[in-house]
Amino acid sequence: MTNITALESLLADRNRHVNTILIRQNNAYTNYVNLKIILMKLKKTISLIIILQKKELSKLTFCSLLTLISFNGYNQEYVDISFDTISTSFRKQKTDQIKSISFRTDIKELKNQEDYKLIIQVDNDETTLSSKDYEIYYKPTLASKLKEKEKIFIKIKKDTLSDRTRTIKLNIRLFKGDSIAKIPNIGDFESILINIKPIRIVNGYEYLGYIGTNFDLVEGIQAKDLFFAANIFKSPEQTLKKKVGFYLSLYGNRALSQIDSSGILKRVVAVEAVSDTSYQVINETRSIRRTRFSDNLGAYISPLWKITSKKSPNSTLNLYYSPSLEFIYRRTKTSISDFGSPKLDTIPKIGDINEETARPQNLPSPRKDTFNEYSFNLGVLGIFLALENKQISVRVHGSVGYASNYFIDFEKSNSNSSILVQQSDLFFSGRAWITEPKSGVTLQAEVTNSAFNPRPFFVATLSKAFDFEKIGTIFTPLSSR
């Protein structure tokens, strides 16, 4: 019996000890929760003080304001309505687009919520985008019907012209009747600035078309005829197997004029008798001006194997090994004409004029010829350099390899028919494309030459680049833009 009593006493002591521990744990948790609530209210109080001071809703001093808040406890009415961020950005597109902007609301401390409504106002003083270019969708909402998360929808109308960045500024306003309510808003972002960026002519550098003009730098900087091209660039990372990329180019351009005035034309102008036993031969010397230019149509493809790469947060530089295959159709026009004043030279001779073999020669008429040529270039050693970022795209390609040229030769034919002559050679070429994406302005330069039969071709162009899907916009009438 004594043992049972001792055991019951031991169990009672244990239960009291456990209860004491549970009570202490519960008190600690309660204190933690109360402390958290106090800190939250303190934070809101400080925010309320700052906002009241900024908005000058009261003439009380800082100390009296603290006294007032302490006296009234936490019964001061306020709201916590805020955008998620202070600013955001959108870009205009070729079609209308709808964008959403979120903001949060906390109005638990607001009394008589049915008397208030929330309105989103456009700050006309800070807004630079024309009201015709956007629409705001948000109806004035009673405070009692506000959700914790609200959304504003903005319709940004289409744009086809590149321009500078414009802005829209929106303000959150709580109204009571027809005037702004004098209720403090302790939200972090009561306003939001929306940056509307202009439409980007070139959204990427993968599929580009170009229309512009050739430049003939030999005869001064002159625009010459139409230039067009279409380029497709796929890096290895953009292909299915991510091992080999490719570069494809179709183009039509005109090479710079090749002018040579070093040729000399000598001819006998006259053979005149001076006496019965003497005569004179009059010779003329003229400079010859030869001009050549070529119109080219070409197709070019090159696989790309990456050699090395250098990346930064805003830019990418890649170097590729790129053998190439190119077909070029050239229509070359040449002209020959005299240049400068003739120089006469008189040679006196003794003898019978009838024994003189020289005879007067007529001045050749200016001559113009046109001939066609077909070239197949197989580039064995080639490198392709691509630098791309949001500000610029630079592509440089160099190639050395085997060239097979075909042209028509009338002189080797014994009849009026022509024969096709094949000529093998080694070639080297270099190309560079520089594109500014916002405007699409592109500078392109090219040089090609042969080793055994040197005939350099130089090309310089200025064009405007477009994404393939936008290239039709250049033919849009101005009235529809």
- The per-residue pLDDT for range 428-457, each reduced to its tens digit, is 999 999 998 878 899 999 999 999 988 899
Look at residue 335 and tell me whether its pLDDT is greater than 60.
Answer: yes
**Are residues 300 and 324 in contact, defined by beta-carbon separation less than 8 angstroms?**
yes
0.85 exceeded by the pTM? Answer: no
pLDDT at residue 397 greater than cutoff 90: yes
pLDDT at residue 55, rounded to an integer: 46
At residue 214, the pLDDT reads 87
Contact 118, 141 (CB under 8 A): yes
Q: Produce one character per residue of 21-37: b if its CB has 16 or more CB atoms within 10 Å, e if not.
A: eeeeeeeeeeeeeeeee
pLDDT given for residue 402 in this prediction: 96
Q: What percent of the chain has pLDDT over 90?
A: 31
C-alpha span between 132 and 154 (Å, rounded): 13
Q: Which CATH number fits domain 80-197: 3.40.50.720, 3.40.1010.10, 2.60.40.2030, 3.40.50.620?
A: 2.60.40.2030
**467 or 104, which is more confident:** 104
The string of pLDDT tens digits covering residues 167-196 is 999 999 999 888 898 888 888 899 999 998
* Residue 46 pLDDT level (bands cut at 50, 70, 90): low
- Confidence (pLDDT) at 72: 45
238-264: average pLDDT: 85
State mean pLDDT over 99-110: 90
Tell me the mean pLDDT in the region 267-273: 83
Region class of 240: left (phi > 0), else alpha (psi between -120 and 50), else beta? alpha
Residue 50 pLDDT greater than 60, yes or no? no
- In this prediction, residue 461 has a pLDDT band, given cuts at 50, 70 and 90, of very high
Least confident segment among 61-65, 110-114, 188-192: 61-65
In this prediction, residues 252-262 reach a mean pLDDT of 81
Q: Please tell me the distance from the alpha carbon of residue 190 to that of residue 171, in angstroms, as a whole number.
A: 6
Q: What is the pLDDT of residue 230?
A: 92
pLDDT, tens only, 128-137: 888 888 999 9
Share of the chain above pLDDT 70, in %: 75
Comparing 61-70, 234-243, 284-293, 347-356, which segment has the lowest mean pLDDT?
61-70
State the average pLDDT over residues 209-237: 80
pLDDT for residue 474 is more than 60 = no
Which range has the top average pLDDT, 16-30, 83-97, 221-235, 447-461? Answer: 447-461
Mean pLDDT taken over the chain: 80
64 — pLDDT class (breaks 50, 70, 90): very low
Max mean pLDDT range (12-16, 58-62, 274-278): 274-278
Domain covering 207-268+284-349+365-480 in this structure, CATH number: 2.40.128
Tokens of 361: 């020669």
> Mean per-residue pLDDT for 57-83?
57
The average pLDDT across 265-282 equals 84
Q: How do beta strands 97-106 and 80-83 pair?
A: antiparallel
- How many of the other CB atoms lie within 10 Å of CB of 255? 24
Q: Domain ranges in the chain? A: 7-72, 80-197, 207-268+284-349+365-480
d(Cα 407, Cα 294) in Å, to the nearest integer?
Answer: 14
